[in-house]
Amino acid sequence: MVRTINTDIFTLNQKSLPAGKEDLPAAMDLLDTLRANSERCVGMAANMIGVNRRIIAVDMGAAAVLMLNPVIVRKYGDTYEAEEGCLSHTGTKRTLRSQNVEVQFQDMNFKSHRQTFSGLTAQIIQHEIDHCDGILI
Nearest C-alpha neighbor of 64 from the set 17, 19, 29: 29
Q: Which stretch binds Zn ion (CB under 5 A): 8-16, 24-32, 55-63, 80-88?
A: 80-88
Nearest residue to Zn ion, by Cβ distance, number only: 86
Which regions of 14-63 does DSSP assign to beta strands (E)? 43-45, 55-59
30 contributes a contact to Zn ion by CB under 5 A: no
Cα distance between residue 13 and residue 116, in whole Å: 27
Residues contacting Zn ion: total by CB under 5 A: 1
66 contributes a contact to Zn ion by CB under 5 A: no
132 contributes a contact to Zn ion by CB under 5 A: no
Quote the DSSP letter at residue 20: -
Q: Which stretch binds Zn ion (CB under 5 A): 50-58, 67-75, 83-91, 96-104?
A: 83-91
Binder of Zn ion out of 65, 86, 101, 132 (CB under 5 A): 86
Please check whether residue 55 is in contact with residue 45, taking contact to mean a CB–CB distance below 8 angstroms.
Answer: yes
Question: What are the φ and ψ backbone dihedral angles of 38, each rounded to 5 degrees?
Answer: -60, -20
Is 128 in the active site? yes
Please check whether residue 77 is in contact with residue 118, taking contact to mean a CB–CB distance below 8 angstroms.
Answer: yes
124 contributes a contact to Zn ion by CB under 5 A: no
Selecting among 39, 81, 102, 128, the annotated active-site residue is 128
Contact positions toward Zn ion, by CB under 5 A? 86
